[in-house]
Structures are given as structure tokens and as C-alpha cells.
Amino acid sequence: MSDYVRQLPDSASGSGLSRPPSVWQRFHLDLPLLILLLIVTALGLLVLYSASGQDMGAVLRQGRFFLVGYVVMLLAAQIRLQRFQRWGPWFYLFGIGLLIAVDIVGVGAKGAQRWLSLGGFRFQPSEVMKLVVPMTVAWYLAERTLPPRFKYLLACLAIIALPAALILIQPDLGTALLIAASGLFVVFMAGIGWSYIFGALVLAVLSAWPVWVYGLKEYQQQRILTMLNPESDKLGAGWNIIQSKTAIGSGGWDGKGWLKGTQSQLDFLPESHTDFIIAVLGEEFGLRGVIILMGLYLLLLLRGFWIGLQARSSYGRMMAGSLTLTFFVYIFVNMGMVAGLLPVVGVPLPLVSAGGTSVVTLMAGFGLLMAISAEQRTVSH
Amino acid sequence: MPPPIALKDPHREARIYSARTIAAVLIVTGLLALILVRYYSLQITEYETYRTQSERNRVQLQPLPPKRGLIYDRNGVLLADNRPSHLLSIVVEQVPDLDATLAELQKLLPISEADLESFYKKKARRRPYEAVPLRFRLTEEERARLAVNRYALPGVTVEAQLQRYYTHGELFAHAIGYVGRINEREAFELDSSDYRGTFHIGKIGVERYYEDILHGEVGYQNVETNAHGRVLRVLERFDPRPGADLTLHLDIELQRTAYEALGEQRGAVVALDTATGGVLALVSTPGFDSNLFVNGISSADYSALRDSPDVPLFNRAVQGQYPPGSTVKPMMALAGLKSGLVTPEYTVADPGWYRLPGDSRRYRDWILKIRGTGHAPRVAMEMAIAESCDVYFYDLARRLTIDGMYEYLQPFGLGERSGIDTTNERSGVLPSTRWKRDHMNQPWYPGETLSAGIGQGYMLTTPLQLAVSTAVLATKGRHWSPRLVRSIDGQPLVAPELPPVEASPEHWQAVQEGMHAVVHSARGSARSIAKGLQYEIAGKTGTAQVIGIAQNEIYREENVAERHRNHGLFIAFAPYEAPTIAVAVIVENGGGSSAAYPIARKVIDTWLLNESGTELAAAGESGG
């Protein structure tokens, strides 16, 4: 098995040698990844048009975000991977500084301070940390023998815990967890023993009660309770989940048709164009549509893992794995929460939900993936 | 063992990574499959459930309240109308902060404690997204103020609704009654689906008695709404069936005449159509504006009405129970004739007082304090009725006994509810030995029979009962259960007839002649109303004692406080030869019947001279 896996980069690089670099390769673009992204973003805009109540303005706005995202991706793909590796820790220090600044002078939104206002441009430092934290952990571990030893592991945990804690006090539990996960994925891909992983899981389960009692704010507890029993508060917190489940369920296999979803078109579905947009897709395109989107996501994920497998450096591998898994977490948490499997946390459906920040971060991540993919090719030149 | 030298082994690291990638792919695929299973269960397994739920979300069954039936007087004058009224309601689900919104609204328009209380009660019972009414009958200015501030008040709606309006609220308050907002107890008892969308219900009077007919049947429409409850389109509609319109026997002119004739005095007038048993006038004073009750009366207004010593909310015409006094004498006379104890020619010695055999106590005749003697040495029936001779009826009562009186007076409807089509009717009291035993656990004393014989003591009648029994006297025996409603949606409603009072024509004649003489004889007790009369009236005066008079005391009006003065009564029917109207009048603390008979005359004048213009013209000529 491992032999087979090791064969792959060799055969790929072998073919790369024989041919001159294509246009795509010259611009460090991973064609399968790009094509998948284009399909998903196009589908996203289609659903958004319906979810926004057929508001072309919202679609154009989101299209502009995508444009910015693709440019960011293109630029990121041009940067040599070693630069990312070297800049990582400096980004990290800068990011920590920004997070502290947010906690002190940030702009509030819905009871949480997440934004920094820089000359009229609102900016969410925690979003950037989704890339910077794994970069830093990967930078730290790339210098060391893998799998990492225990003391290095502790250092990694410290790197992860500091920004996570700063985001948690904003408070933004969802993002804090996502950032912690993105860092931990690096550690996972670095190959720490399964005993650590299971040990950590057992510890997490055991600490659930004290965290519930002392760690979570009331609204956070409420979200979890609401997920467990949405009927308990039909018109309050449970409303979102009941309506999204109704939207999805009433879509059936075929869906009600584009622009014909009654739940979303008649405003029963809250946040229909942002976090709950999968419910619009489920209602209007049915289970078929859900399977198609999920298939596209799965192909994206597999391509990400594939790029990791082909990477030459440990840094590239760990980053590719972490970025791919983080992308997966977005998908899993969002689709799970809208379907009532997970508590409602503010996680958008990647590349489909309306919103600029997450698009730019995600596309920057894909740019990084392309840089990893390009590194493998440039090295082989 | 010394720690191994940290040497990077790229092949080993790549191998580790490959293994981790395989694990990650497995985990990712597994979790995505889990999500997919969830979507499958929602969209395929539970599809029907959610489709239904989504349909129910989208489509709302909205009640369409029926239009309440209108009420007209006998001439087609509209008495109870439905007028558009604007009400302020709140869709609680759309209000971000209810307390803040209510505080904001209170700055814009007055909202009483009662409004708030009923709002909170209704709020607790509402369906999701149902508008809960907060304030009724918004003024033009209030609506304008709300419209200006609308942007700041999400979830606050103003809608127009048809609402009861009484065109002559005060005149017909007791006759028609009123509607009011459905209270908690009524909401509990009502068929809730029938009253969806209806906020008012008949509370009292005709409005209450005919509630089922006036209300109509609720309709429904299926509407597509958005989450904010805004109706986007109507999918299906079942029209409501409007309530039936009622035409009453009541005549607005008669009603007004009676009301104005009573004026500031407390009292009641009931007039019946002797041909149909229809109620031509039913007035109780003081009245009140029944429109006050439609939207929940303010507590200040209500306590003013409730605590007034004149008890304006009390419907004296059907609830007031008064001793009939001498108005009972014509019925007593008929009882005497029927029992054979007297004939029209039979006479009684009248020294001005009466004594029971073997008892020294003297029962005074009212005339004694005026003339110091009786009406005449010997008094026969006609004079006994015309001059209201007490001694004649003391003697008759003694011989008839109280149970004999009960037997003969009961067929006139005394002591029983007449069954009129309104609420709160009382039965009065027609005493008997059995009644006294049952109610007071005491034996009957002979002296009490004498009091009963002149309509005092335990005997109590309502003005309505007096009117009914007067109609019996007028029609020589026809006994109606009176009706206020003449027709329902044009379909005539016939007043039920009760078993007639049987007597020979001669007996009826004798009694009626006595009543005729009350007005049309030189010494008749109501002779003063005969002046200028264009037709003939038969009547009977009555005075009901409010306080007991000690044996040796003589009642003098000027000595007693206004509230302790005697009630004045008068019953009458006209025209004498072919009666069409029977009237009963009571004036509380009027001092005597002279307060009552002019009112009866005005009512009868209005009725008879209204019926045909020629009579009216003739009356005017002869008067001039």
C-alpha cells in the first residue's frame, strides 16, 4: 500500500519532465481544483439568486467577492511555498496582535466583538487566523522529526491555544473551534500516535460537563439545547431549525424547482442566503441537488488530499492535509447544523453562502494548495 | 536508551502522511455519508411530514368573521348598525421587544389597564402569528399618529373592522341590550371556531337572546402568507353567512315619547300590541349609552353607572319588581265575579276602613286621610275600580282567601316569567299560603290577605307583567308571551299565546267598564287625563308603598324622603271599544299614580295618533 502511494509522485513528476509546462502550470494553477471551484461557485451563485429573494444585486455582490477570491487565490499560488513557511510565524505574531486589538477596540456585532474597522473597511482578524494557525504549526513541526515528540506536541498546543482563547473571549465559539481544529489537523497529519488522539477524545468527553457548566455562555448552551429539542422553543431559537428541516424535508428527491421553494421564497427560512443556504438548495433541488453538491465537495476534498500526497516537503503535506480537513469541517458543520444534527454555530457553507470574508479566506487557502501543487512541479523541473 | 538522534527521514514521513491521508479520507467520507443519511431521512423517509408542514406553513386558514345582523324598529328605522372601526393589534412574533413596543404605543395613544389586561389574556391564547387586539375604535388622529410612527413599530397593525353602533344608544339601551368584547368565560364556553375573528358577542337583551341568529356563520379563506403573516394571495374562499337582521315591534316614536315623558324620573314603561303580543315600547330610566359597552367600558364610566343610586344598568321594565298596588284591582274584580262572590251590582259598606271579624285592627282606605270618610255608604264594583276603593277589595280578598286569589290571578301571568325574548326577566311574586311556607317558613296571616287584595304586601310584579295582564284585560282573555322581535330577515315571528283567561262576556264587560270609569267618570282616579282625549282609555291607577306605615300613622308625602315616597303606577288600554295597545307605567317614588298616568296618555296618544294621520289631524283641529 505505502509503496503504491509512493509511486504516485514519481510517475506524475516523470510525465511532467517529458512535456513543456502548460499555461496552467506556468501560472501555478491546479486545473482540476480550479474547474471544481468554478463549478461550485457557479452553483453557489445560482442558489444565492433564489435564496436572496431573486436579488440580482446580492448575486453581483457575491460575484465580486468571488472575483476578489480568485485573484487572491491566483496571487497566493504564485508565492513559493518556502516563503509561506518562513512568513508563517510573523503572520502569527501579527495576527495575535490584531486579535488583542479586537478584544480591546473591536466593533461589536450581535453581542460579539469580531471586527476591526480599518479606514471604513471592516476586517475580521479571526478569519485570517484560520490560515495562519496551521501555517505556524506546520512551520514548527516541519523543522522536527515526525511524528513529533511529546514536548513539541505541547508547544504546538500552545501555538493553537493562544489565538483560540483570544477568539473565544470575543466571544465566538464556532470560529475558536474551527481555528483550533485547523491547527490540530496539522498535528494529526504529522502523524501523532493514535493513543494521543483517543486520549484527547476521552478527555474531551470527560470535560464536557465542567465545560458546559462553567465554560459556555447561556446562549451557547441554548443553541445546543435547541439542537437537541427544537420543539422546546418553536418561535424562538428553535424556529430556525424547524424551518430549515421543513425546507429540506419538503424538497424530497426532486425538489420544488429553482425559485419555487415556498419556505425560502416566503421568508419562513431565516438566514436563507447565508448560513442556512443549504436548506434552499435542499428545498428547491431536492436530495439530488444535495448529492451533487456533496459530490463536488468530495471531489474537492480528494483533490486536496491528492495534492498533499504529491507534495515534496513535510510542510507542504501537512498544510495540504490541514487545509483540506478544515474545508471539510466547514462542510460538515454547516450541513450538519442546518439539518439539525449539530448545534447552530456561525459556520457558512463554503463557496455557497453569501459573505465576503469567508470566500477570501477559503480562496487564499486554495491558492496555498495550488502553491503546494506547483512546488512539486517546479522542483521536478 | 538514549534518545534517537533527530534525523529527518523523508520517506518515513511520506509514509506516515500517506497513512494519515487514508485515515482522513475514510473519516471524511464516513462523516459525509452520515450527513447524507440525515438528508436522506429528511427528504425521503420523512418527506410527507415535512411537505405537510411546509404546506401548513405557507397556507393559512384565515377566519372571515360574519357580519352581525342589523336591528330595526317596526318602521324600519335602523337601531343597531355595523360601522367600520379601526383596531390596533399586535403580531407578537414580529415584535422584537414587546414591553418596549407597548411603552412606545402608550406614548402615541391612550391604552388603559383594561386594554392591557385583555391583551395579555388574549395573547396567552393566540395561535402563532395571530394578531392580538390591543385597542379598539381608534380615532382619526390616533391612526394618523400610528401611521407616522409605523416604521418604528414592527408587528403593530391597524385594521378596519365592522363594529356595533347603536344609533339611539340611550333610548334603546334596555330594550336591545348591547354587545361587548368576548370575555374569558365566554371564550371558554363558546364554540371557538365559530367565533374566530369575532371579538364581540351579545351580552344582554335582544343582542344576547338572539345571539345565534345575529351572529351568522364564520367563513374561511385559505391564504398564502409569508413568514411575517402578510397575505400574498387567496387560494380558496368560503364566504361567511351574515347574521339575520331583526325587525322589532318597538316603535321609535313610542320609545322616545315614553323616555322623554319619564324624563329625570326613575321608572319604566312597557307598551304591548294587544293584537300580536309585540312589545311596542320598553323603556327603563335612567338609561345609559349602550355604545359605551361595545369596546369594554372604562372603569371610571362603569363605576359611575354601577355606583349611581339610580342604578341605570338595572332594567326596571323586566327586572324591577314592585308591589302592583291598586293596579291589581281589575284582576281581583274579575276573580270575584268568576268565583261568584260578587256580582257587578253587589255592594260593600264603606266607612273608610275595614276590620277583620274578631279583630279590632282597622285597615284604612286611602281616601280616609283625604275625606275622613269612605267613598260612599255602599260601594259597587264600578265605583270600587273607578275610585280605587280599598274597602271593597279588602272584603273581596278576605272572602276569596289568599289561595283563591292565587288561583284566579295566576292565569294573568303574575308570579311567573312572561317568557319575553330578552334577558334577565324576573318572575315577581304571587303569594299563597304555600309560597309563604316555602319561602319564609311561616303560616299565612289573615291580615296579609287584605294587603294582597290591594296589591301590597308580598305581592310583586314587573312592569312587563303588568303590561301583559293589562293586555289580557283589554283582549278579554288573550294571553301573550310578549315578543320584542317582529320578524327575522323578513320572516314574521309570532308571539306564542298562553292559555287564555276564561270569563263570561258580562264579567269582562263589568271589569272593563270599571276601568273605563277610572278615566271617564267624574270621580275616576285618573280623570285628569281625559281632557282633550280623542279616544277612550280604560285604565287603573296604583300606588305602591315603599315603606311600611304604622297602623296609626298617615302617609304624608312631604314628610318622607324622596327615596321613601310611594311608587306611582298606571295601567291602561285603548281605544276602549277596540283596544290595540296596552301600557304599564311605573314611576319610582313618584308619590302616587298621578306621576304615572300622564305618561301613559302620551304614549297612547303617540301610538293611536301616529297610526293614522287623519286622527292626528282631527285631534289638532278639535284641540284648537
Q: Which of A263, A332, A340 sits opposite B54 (nearest CB)?
A: A263
Q: Is the Cβ–Cβ distance between B588 and B265 less than 8 Å?
A: yes
C-alpha dist (Å) from residue B384 to A371, B330, B391, B459, B571: 128, 9, 8, 20, 16
| CATH number for the domain formed by residue range(s) B61-248 | 3.90.1310.10
Of A23-27, B263-267, B374-378, the poorest mean pLDDT is in: A23-27
What is the predicted pLDDT for the residue at B227?
Answer: 67
What is the predicted pLDDT for the residue at A114?
Answer: 63
Residue A349 CB partners (closer than 8 Å, separation 6+): A275, A277, A278, A330, A331, A334, A335, A338
Give B267-336 as a DSSP string: EEEEEEETTT-BEEEEEEES---GGGGTT---HHHHHHHHH-TT-TTS-HHHH--B--GGGGHHHHHHHH
- Look at A266 and B226 and tell me if their CB atoms are within 8 Å: yes
Give B461-491 as a DSSP string: B-HHHHHHHHHHHHTTS-EE--BSEEEETTE
Is B85 annotated in the active site? no
For chain A positions 225-284, those within 8 Å of chain B (CB to CB) are 234-235, 243, 245-253, 262-263, 266-268, 282-283
Residue B493 CB partners (closer than 8 Å, separation 6+): B483, B485, B486, B487
Mutate to test the interface with B, among A7, A143, A146, A234 (most CBs of B within 10 A): A146
**Nearest one of A53, A49, A71 to A62, comparing CA atoms:** A49
Domain with CATH 3.40.710.10 in chain B: 252-308+315-486+493-623
- Look at A253 and B44 and tell me if their CB atoms are within 8 Å: yes
Q: What is the DSSP code (8-state) at residue B24?
A: H
Q: Is the Cβ–Cβ distance between B448 and B433 less than 8 Å?
A: no
H or E, element range at B132: strand B131-135
- Look at A268 and B57 and tell me if their CB atoms are within 8 Å: yes
Which one-letter amino acid corresponds to residue B289?
D
Residue A19 lies in a domain: no
Which residues on chain B are in Cβ contact (under 8 Å) with A234? 128
What is the predicted pLDDT for the residue at B300?
Answer: 84
Here the cell at position B20 is 494519515
Query: Residues, chain B, total?
Result: 624
Task: Say if residue B115's pLDDT is above 90.
Answer: no
Cis peptide before B286 (omega within 30 of 0): yes
Which residues on chain A are in Cβ contact (under 8 Å) with B16? 146-147, 190-191
The highest-confidence range among B51-65, B531-545, B550-564, by mean pLDDT, is B531-545
Give B547-606 pLDDT, tens digit per residue: 655 444 555 555 567 778 899 999 999 999 999 999 999 999 998 899 999 999 999 999
- In B381-509, beta strands by DSSP E: 479-480, 485-488, 491-492, 497-498
Task: Say if residue B140's pLDDT is above 70.
Answer: yes
Which residues on chain A are in Cβ contact (under 8 Å) with B123? none
Closest CA in chain A for residue B36: A291
The stretches in chain A having pLDDT less than 50 are 1-16, 111, 120, 380-381
Computed on alpha carbons and rounded to an integer, the radius of gyration of chain B in Å comes to: 37
Residue A129 lies in a domain: yes
Question: What 3-state DSSP class applies to B387?
Answer: coil
CA distance B94 to B559: 69
What is the predicted pLDDT for the residue at A92?
Answer: 94
**Nearest one of B290, B259, B77, B82 to B173, comparing CA atoms:** B290
* Predicted-complex ipTM score: 0.89
Q: Which of B20, B22, B49 sits opposite A249 (nearest CB)?
A: B49
What is the predicted pLDDT for the residue at B617?
Answer: 36
User: Is A350 at the interface with chain B, CB within 8 A?
Assistant: no
What is the predicted pLDDT for the residue at A10?
Answer: 45
CA distance A94 to A106: 16
> Which residue shows C-alpha cell 505574531?
A93
CA distance B43 to A283: 9
The total number of structural domains in chain A stands at: 1
Q: Kindly give the pairing relationship between strand B246-248 and strand A121-123.
A: unpaired
What is the predicted pLDDT for the residue at A108?
Answer: 56
CA distance A185 to B126: 51
Per the residue annotation, which of B118, B290, B326, B418 is the catalytic one? B326
Question: What 3-state DSSP class applies to A293?
Answer: helix
Residue B341 CB partners (closer than 8 Å, separation 6+): B396, B399, B400
Mutate to test the interface with A, among B5, B9, B45, B50 (most CBs of A within 10 A): B50
Which residues on chain B are in Cβ contact (under 8 Å) with A317? 13-14, 17
Computed on alpha carbons and rounded to an integer, the radius of gyration of chain A in Å comes to: 21
Which one-letter amino acid corresponds to residue B237?
R
**Nearest one of B100, B78, B110 to B295, comparing CA atoms:** B110
Q: Is B350 labeled as ligand-binding?
A: yes
Q: How many CB atoms lie within 10 A of CB B174?
A: 29
Host domain of residue A366: 27-380
- Look at B32 and A298 and tell me if their CB atoms are within 8 Å: yes
C-alpha dist (Å) from residue B197 to A85, A185, B169, B220, B595: 70, 60, 25, 10, 49
In angstroms, the separation between the Cα of residue B120 and the nearest Cα of chain A is: 18
CA atoms within 13 A on the CB side of A211: 10
Give B175-223 pLDDT, tens digit per residue: 999 999 888 788 777 766 788 778 889 999 999 999 999 999 888 887 7
- Look at A268 and B35 and tell me if their CB atoms are within 8 Å: no
Q: Kindly give the pairing relationship between strand B246-248 and strand B71-72.
A: parallel
Burial class (CB in 10 A: 0-12, 13-18, 19+), B141: exposed
CATH 3.40.710.10 fits B252-308+315-486+493-623, yes or no: yes
The more confident residue out of B65 and A238 is B65
Task: Say if residue B236's pLDDT is above 60.
Answer: yes
CA distance B245 to B281: 19
What is the predicted pLDDT for the residue at B112?
Answer: 85
Give phi and psi for A128, each to the nearest 5: -65, -35
Q: Is the Cβ–Cβ distance between A240 and A29 less than 8 Å?
A: no
What is the predicted pLDDT for the residue at A291?
Answer: 96
**N-term to C-term CA, chain B:** 144
Burial class (CB in 10 A: 0-12, 13-18, 19+), B197: middle
Q: How many CB atoms lie within 10 A of CB B70?
A: 18
Question: What 3-state DSSP class applies to B70?
Answer: coil
